[in-house]
Structure 1
Amino acid sequence: MATRRDLLKFGSLAAASSVLPSFAFAQSLLANVPRAEKPLRILVLGGTGFTGPFQIAYALARGHHVTTFNRGQRPAIEWPGPVEQRTGDRNTGDLSALADGEWDVCIDNPTTLPFWVRDAGEALKGRVGHYLFISTISVYADGSNPGITEDAALAEYRGTDAMAETMESVRADMGNLYGPLKARSEAEAHKQFGEKVTIVRPGYIVGPRDETDRFTYWPRRIAQGGEVLVPGDGKDPVQIIDGRDLGEWMIRLAENGTTGVFNACGPDYPLSTDAMVHGCHAVTGGPATFTHVPTEFLQQHNAGLPIWVPREGSPFSGYGAVSNARAIEAGLTFRPLATTVADLLAWYRGLPADRQEEVRVGITREREAELLGLWKQRG
């Protein structure tokens, strides 16, 4: 069962992905994207992790002018258009590369720490028209009830000095610090950039380039065939968003000058665990069967199955059914689950063989067989 720590602990890994997509492929997908009415000058803080490259590729296809700011520690990406690269380190406060220039929009992708937002605001003061911040649904104080809206209470930071927190301190106490520090970062965004701020709160981000394996576990396992353990009765809600849908929507928000707070969770219909696994199977094919194992049994045996959150009896039950009505009204759209699964598997199967054999999250085939055996013995 997913816990708050399970939800959070792979965030830095996702951001640190070093496996680059083929942007010749990305360019072909974006060939028919219409140009925006007005080209924007967009500054992307980060941009080389999970969703950032898709965001940038879409912005270029729309005719925007893109500048990136990051540490420049990953292999260079062959963008489908000109991108200005500026280098610095927000951990050390080195934002000198941003000393000049003006931008219509700044998109802040990787920030967890409030001082990163403070420093960006001070460095860019008066030179950015609109600031978009990627936050998380983990900012909510109570994740137990479905239907969480953007107006729900936020988690409180209970430490000594939020501005003194570091990524090391967050990793050491992820469950208690990640959400509250994101909430503080949101508040700092408004302090630094005023009313022209957009806060986007995604849940599980999935699709090509996802290095966490949280969602990848399911199509990967189902493609292997055999008896697949499905948690609960199959009716628990699931929410995911393809990283490309998130990235492209961020650009459209920038184009429209849309401000406010939005839960970026998908899809736009109720998705259950059963619908997810059968949707994966429709893509993978093969002789797979599905056996439901009750929630209580899985909890007793500490079965760590990703994405899944029971709809009852968990302090995180609401994370599977967050309200996305406001985001959909603001233009968030979702590609079909089958498209996400097919593209994810195509990307995953292009990784080195040893990486494909690595189980970063979920359970091994041996552990799965053991749990199924124990459950049937009880039956």
Structure 2
Amino acid sequence: MDLLLLGGTGFLSRTVAEEAVSRGHRVTALTRGVSGAPPNGVTAVHADRNAADEMARAVRSVKVAAVIDMSGETVAAARIAARELASADSYVYVSSMNAYRNWPPGPVRGEDDPLWDEESDAYGPVKAAGERILSRAFGDRLLSARAGVIVGPREIGGRLTAWLHRISAGGRIAVPDALDQPMAFVDVRDLASWLVDAAERGMSGPVTATGPYGMTTYGGLLRACRETVSATGGPASELVPITEKTLLEAGVQPWRHLPFWLPEEVARTAWQIETATARRLGLPSRPIEATVAGTWEWMRRAGTAAYQAGQAHGLPPELERSLLS
């Protein structure tokens, strides 16, 4: 199959490119050309997706049976893609759960929950607008994958990598006391494989693309991190639960300072995501222990770059010392 990827060098998009090549597809990746080359076996073309003339020139000679769009960050990009790629048999658009008007805090009860419908440059409204524009152009040839929290190897957002980075340093570690809070993630490798499936099979419609609610808990995630690091000779560490009241009074920023942590009032609904459609359409969900192990293996192999990504989030050392004292 002649597969065009919009993106091909990032966290999700590189994983999709590798998966598509491994299946024998003829893969072209359209990128800006500023963040490295796509994987071996992928033909690269370069354009700014927000520039209609550049996009038109870049795709003019590319054979396109299916598109996987992982770089749709503006309304203009959606409009240009809808016009220039209108002949594609299948269009898979990576949207976001942020397209849902009421998430967070949620819950998300199904794909019919309301989306943002006003003009805005904010992330969620842009994703919702992209879905509307592409739906008008492609109809039942469009699948909108409303991705949840993506984790796994090459994760440069600094969330799971931040916990692994901190636990690998050992010692007493401040963690939220909400260790029994159910959570849900999607491994980048599972999502990438499923997106290629969707392009191959011509899946259509909106799909909330994340793991099942309660696939792990906050405590389960942290224990998996500690056990994975320990199994490779990492130092001993002690998880020290800190109450929400203490964390907030100390100025701890939810999600940023303690990745994946949300105050209880938000967390009790934000993780309640209905994923029956995703399960029916075959989106896999590997155990969190496998995701953590794969991420840690990548971090050890990647070295400095991975550890720098792991420092993008996390408690400042002086704040953690204060909490632990």
Same fold (TM over 0.5): yes
Q: Does 1:76 align with 2:28?
A: no
Q: In 2 relative to 1, CA 360–197 (structure 1 residues): closer, same or farther, beyond 3 Å?
A: same
Corresponding position of 2:65: 104
Please state if 1:85 is matched with 2:44. Answer: yes
1:349 Cα offset (Å): 2.8
Match of 1:261 in 2: 206
Q: Spell out the pairing of 1:109-258 with structure 2 (5 A cutoff).
A: 109-126=70-87, 128-143=88-103, 144-159=105-120, 170=121, 177-258=122-203
Q: Distance in 2 between matches of 1:72 and 1:147?
A: 36
Give yes or no for contact 2:109–2:273 (8 Å, CA) kept in 1. Answer: yes
Q: Write the distance in 1 (CA, Å) between the matches of 2:6 and 2:305.
A: 32
* TM-score (normalised: structure 1): 0.77
The answer to whether the 8 Å contact 1:238/1:309 transfers is no
Taking a change above 3 Å as real, the CA distance of residues 124 and 354 of structure 1, as seen in their structure-2 partners, is closer
Contact 1:203 1:319 in 2 (8 A): no
What is the rounded CA distance, in whole Å, between the counterparts of 1:108 and 1:302 in structure 2?
38
Give the alignment partner of residue 278 of structure 2, picking from 302, 327, 332: 327
What residue in structure 1 maps to residue 320 of structure 2?
368
User: Is the 8 Å Cα contact of residues 198 and 261 (structure 1) preserved in structure 2?
Assistant: yes
Q: 2:226 aligns with which of 281, 285, 292?
A: 281
Q: Which residue of 1 aligns with 2:261?
A: 308
Q: State the secondary structure of the residue aligned to 2:216.
A: coil
Q: Find 1:349's aligned residue among 297, 300, 315.
A: 300
Quick one: distance in 2 between partners of 1:353 and 1:118? 39
Q: Cα distance 1:71–1:301, how it changes in 2: closer, same or farther (>3 A)?
A: same
Query: Cα distance, 1:288 vs. partner?
Result: 1.7
> Mind listing any 5+ residue stretches in structure 1 that lack a counterpart?
1-39, 160-169, 171-176, 374-379
Matched with 1:294 is: 243
Contact 1:145 1:317 (C-alpha < 8 Å) held by counterparts: no
Q: Secondary structure at the match of 2:283?
A: coil
| 8 Å CA contact 2:213, 2:273 repeated in 1 | no
Amino acid at match of 1:260: G
Indicate if the aligned counterparts of 2:182 and 2:214 stay in contact, CA closer than 8 A.
no
- Please give the per-residue CA displacement for 1:238-257, whole angstroms capped at 9, x wherever unaligned: 22222111111101112222
Listed as ranges, the gaps of 5+ residues in structure 2 are none
Structure 2 letter corresponding to 1:364: P
Q: CA deviation at 1:274?
A: 0.7
Residues in 2 aligned to 1:282 and 1:354: alpha-carbon distance in whole angstroms: 23
One-letter amino acid of the structure 1 residue matched with residue 17 of structure 2: I
| Cα distance in 2, alignment partners of residues 46 and 322 from structure 1 | 27
Distance 1:111 1:207, change over 3 A: same
Deviation for aligned residue 1:139: 1.0
Q: What SS does the corresponding residue of 1:333 show, helix, strand or coil?
A: coil
C-alpha distance in 2, partners of 1:253/1:370? 49
Q: Distance in 2 between matches of 1:190 and 1:236?
A: 36
How far apart are 1:338 and its partner, in Å? 2.3
Indicate if the aligned counterparts of 2:70 and 2:93 stay in contact, CA closer than 8 A.
Answer: yes
Alpha-carbon contact 1:215-1:306 (below 8 Å) kept: yes
Structure 1 vs Structure 2 CA RMSD: 2.1
Moved over 4 A (4+): none
In the alignment, what sits opposite 1:26?
none
Equivalent position amino acid for 1:151 in 2? D
Structure 2 distance, partners of 1:346, 1:77, is 21
